[in-house]
Structure 1
């Protein structure tokens, strides 16, 4: 009796196992035939152009760009899109810009753009950055005026660092206007201590435990969990697609939780942003510079379900308290899918189109201040 029941259960188990294997094989075949492999991974973060600065030398700055440095990165294509090469060149003054004189030319109206990797232009050519796309828009609006827009963005910096950078380096450029390009990451990073016992979101712990990444990684030294996952992903299109989708969901959830945590009222991050804004405001008043803050949105939920509305509201309120003009650039990008505006499928930095849309919107916002300064 027991033996016959065991045999029946064994037969059922074998049939279910065979059906599962067949289903997986058919799914693997379908994924391969449909060409559903995820896009290749974008280049890993490059730090060869970053120069870490000591607190004794330039307090609060943290790091800068290496003057005279240059590096080329290849962004793999996907589908009908071919590979794309981006060359990052840092001029002799330490900015990702064409060469320009440190002393402001006579008769020039000089605008400097402070910010992080979005302002710097990670993943895109120099001419696609927002600073460069602002130039023709302002030239058209103010014919005959000599208006410079200089890209002073440094990847991986927050508002506090940008305030220190303005004070200790950028002020030498004699700007007439400071455009601070704020982002959701400004309440995290260098100099912001979130206290003992802070744990990363559970989603981030799952990403590490499962060895998930944004794409196939070619590297000699990888954590064991990533090595195991990579071995399976290289031979199975289905596993590669499943791991990619799992990473997108878990990592996106992790970012959402982390950034919202950083922007909680009176959090260390919010206090740091407020201090940085105060420093920039004071510098602008002392030197007679115009100041305008623009917040570039996180590329998600642009269809009306934007996840960081409350956080952008806190930035707006801080600017209002300081009597600093503020522009949220979200309306400029609404109606587009995030994938249309990303520098790469695995990289949420804005592409040339996103910067063009933002520049057009921002030009309208800053034009009245420029007109007043130019006496027009």
Structure 2
């Protein structure tokens, strides 16, 4: 082997060694400095990796792994035997019990909120202020959309025989159903999740990738596949509930970055029109929070998921809406 070849091999090995050492240093840094429960990208990645699995139900996307638990965004998360962030619920319900099942995504799940600060928990407490006859079941799963939630209920969660199904809607519910990719780096390395998050910020800031407002609005352009699927799922869920005498309502959760004036009122009106056309009662939660300072409702200073204060305002608005819509049903119990 001549001197030139040896020099080339040595150079390649030196570069490879330097890259491996740099990658190792970055991984160590992220694990030590970015895992304090405040980095959204890391915490959501951990949650997906540790608490979720691909669903065996076609169209449901992913589900929680029953019995798993952990701490995410600094708060404890425990998944019950049914796969929900909730207490245990028996299949059978008391004759006088009114069972309400909440379908939804990370907002319903209560991302970043303590168990007692989740909207479903607050709602059950308010409904049972005078008598203990309401049971609220929280089936929320992070990164779910309307199509996934409807499929999950109709194929699996229906066995709990709710009297009322609440489809909790958020503006990103018109996204296509995500598919879990088996990327070795993203499956195992904190640093890969960290870099992916930073890369997205750079692309939005400097290279013209749609900002959050443009992105959300783009989901509702005519013939967007995710929005078409969401409408179809809503119609199918409405028919399913109607034939089984289950009350169905749709509740719209506002995007909490800007509230007054709210930038997505046209999208809310569009979703409301689709629900109304199917005869589904629709509640917009924006009026319950529009006079609040937006960041006073966030779980952290950089994460606009609703905190306990927002959950209480939401729960009170939902309670009033339920009592208005279903007074006769409640009175019969």
Q: Give me the TM-score of the superposition, normalised by structure 1.
A: 0.69
Distance 1:147 1:253, change over 3 A: same
State the number of aligned residues.
Answer: 281
* SS of residue matched to 1:175: coil
Report the counterpart of residue 44 of structure 1 in structure 2. 43
- C-alpha distance in structure 2 between counterparts of 1:268 and 1:226, whole Å: 28
Report the counterpart of residue 119 of structure 1 in structure 2. 108
Show CA shifts across 1:180-215 (max 9, x none). 1100011003179xxxxxxxxxxxxxxxxxxxxxxx
Q: Of residues 81, 103, 118 in structure 2, which corresponds to 1:92?
A: 81
Distance 1:224 1:277, change over 3 A: closer
- C-alpha distance in structure 2 between counterparts of 1:363 and 1:326, whole Å: 13
- C-alpha distance in structure 1 between counterparts of 2:94 and 2:316, whole Å: 26
What 5-or-longer segments of structure 2 have no aligned partner?
A: 1-36, 180-189
Show CA shifts across 1:90-131 (max 9, x none). 001111101121222332110000000000011011111111
Query: Are 1:300 and 1:307, in contact at CA under 8 Å, matched by a contact in 2?
Result: no
Q: Pairwise mapping of residues 311-322 of structure 1 onto structure 2 (< 5 A)?
A: 311-322=267-278
Report the counterpart of residue 274 of structure 1 in structure 2. 231
- C-alpha distance in structure 1 between counterparts of 2:297 and 2:80, whole Å: 27
* SS of residue matched to 2:43: coil
- C-alpha distance in structure 1 between counterparts of 2:208 and 2:296, whole Å: 20
Q: Pairwise mapping of residues 144-159 of structure 1 onto structure 2 (< 5 A)?
A: 144=131, 146-159=133-146
1:102 and 2:102 are equivalent in the alignment: no
Q: Of residues 166, 178, 189 in structure 1, which corresponds to 2:165?
A: 178
* SS of residue matched to 1:375: helix
Q: CA deviation at 1:272?
A: 1.4
Query: Are 2:69 and 2:76, in contact at CA under 8 Å, matched by a contact in 1?
Result: yes
* SS of residue matched to 2:134: strand
- C-alpha distance in structure 2 between counterparts of 1:343 and 1:249, whole Å: 28
* SS of residue matched to 2:211: helix
Report the counterpart of residue 30 of structure 2 in structure 1. none
- C-alpha distance in structure 1 between counterparts of 2:286 and 2:77, whole Å: 27
- C-alpha distance in structure 2 between counterparts of 1:323 and 1:309, whole Å: 21
Q: Give me the TM-score of the superposition, normalised by structure 2.
A: 0.77
Report the counterpart of residue 65 of structure 2 in structure 1. 66
Show CA shifts across 1:28-63 (max 9, x none). xxxxxxxxxxx963453121111112xxx3121111
Q: Of residues 202, 218, 221 in structure 2, which corresponds to 1:261?
A: 218
Query: Are 2:69 and 2:78, in contact at CA under 8 Å, matched by a contact in 1?
Result: yes
- C-alpha distance in structure 1 between counterparts of 2:107 and 2:167, whole Å: 11
* SS of residue matched to 1:258: helix
* SS of residue matched to 2:299: strand
Show CA shifts across 1:139-191 (max 9, x none). 23xx3351101111111111111110011111011100001110001100317
Query: Are 2:204 and 2:211, in contact at CA under 8 Å, matched by a contact in 1?
Result: no
- C-alpha distance in structure 2 between counterparts of 1:221 and 1:349, whole Å: 20
Q: Pairwise mapping of residues 1-376 of structure 1 onto structure 2 (< 5 A)?
A: 41-42=39-40, 43-45=42-44, 46-47=47-48, 48-53=50-55, 57-73=56-72, 75=73, 85-140=74-129, 143-144=130-131, 146-190=133-177, 219=191, 223=195, 254-303=211-260, 305-375=261-331
**Which is higher, the Rg of structure 1 or of structure 2?**
1
Q: CA deviation at 1:249?
A: 10
What 5-or-longer segments of structure 1 have no aligned partner?
A: 1-38, 76-84, 193-217, 228-242
RMSD of aligned residue pairs (Cα, Å)? 2.8
- Moved beyond 3 Å, runs of 4+: 39-43, 218-227, 246-253
